């Protein structure tokens, strides 16, 4: 699935919304709510989320840091590396045993100093969640 619209990151864990199924590259893909619905069970599936972001400011004496995590059925399963500064790319990869019907979602968080501002996840084909 790919992101269809920029989205500011929150200062606490919040879901990345506005996804579109990539039915051309991955026929049968389905987006349900804010996540990718698993179509068939798979042991050892590699799930990757790539989230480019831009904008934001660390504020006075602050450092701008961003992080993403992958969730399955609402529960965090993998935390991505923290990225400092802007622009950048958040990445999360997990090897999971998936069951048909599982819902994969991504959450992000951005921290910044006094009078800082969060960055935004950018839209487009370069922002995606993929099951291999």
**Number of domains composing the chain:** 1
Q: Residue 27: its pLDDT value, please? A: 85
CA distance 59 to 42: 45
Residues of the chain with pLDDT under 70: 61
Q: Residue 13: its pLDDT value, please? A: 97
**DSSP line for 19-68:** EE--TTTSTT-EEETTEEEP-S-EEEEEEEEEEEEE--B--BT---EEEE
Q: Residue 122: its pLDDT value, please? A: 96
Q: Residue 60: its pLDDT value, please? A: 74
Q: 42-76 pLDDT, tens per residue?
A: 999 999 999 999 988 877 767 889 999 999 999 99
Query: Is residue 7 packed enough to be buried (19+ CB in 10 Å), middle (13-18) or exposed (0-12)?
Result: buried
Q: Residue 116: its pLDDT value, please? A: 78
Q: What angle do CA 67, 17, 58 make, to 5 degrees?
A: 35
29 CB neighbour count, 10 Å cutoff: 20
Range of the domain at 75: 2-131
Q: Residue 115: its pLDDT value, please? A: 72
Q: Mean pLDDT score of the chain, rounded to an integer? A: 93
What CATH number should be reported for the domain holding residue 99? 2.60.120.40
């Amino acid at each position: 699935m790919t992101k269809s619209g920029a989205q500011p990151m929150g200062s606490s864990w919040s879901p990345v919304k506005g996804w579109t199924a990539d039915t051309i590259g991955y026929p049968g893909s389905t987006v349900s709510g804010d996540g990718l619905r698993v179509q068939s069970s798979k042991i050892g599936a590699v799930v990757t989320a790539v989230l480019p972001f831009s904008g934001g400011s660390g504020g006075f004496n602050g450092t701008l840091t961003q992080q993403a995590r992958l969730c399955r059925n609402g529960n965090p399963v993998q935390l991505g590396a923290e990225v400092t500064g802007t622009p950048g790319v958040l990445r999360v990869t997990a090897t999971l045993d998936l069951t048909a019907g599982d819902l994969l979602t991504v959450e992000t968080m951005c921290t910044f100093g006094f009078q800082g501002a969060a960055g935004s996840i950018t839209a487009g084909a370069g922002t995606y969640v993929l099951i291999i």
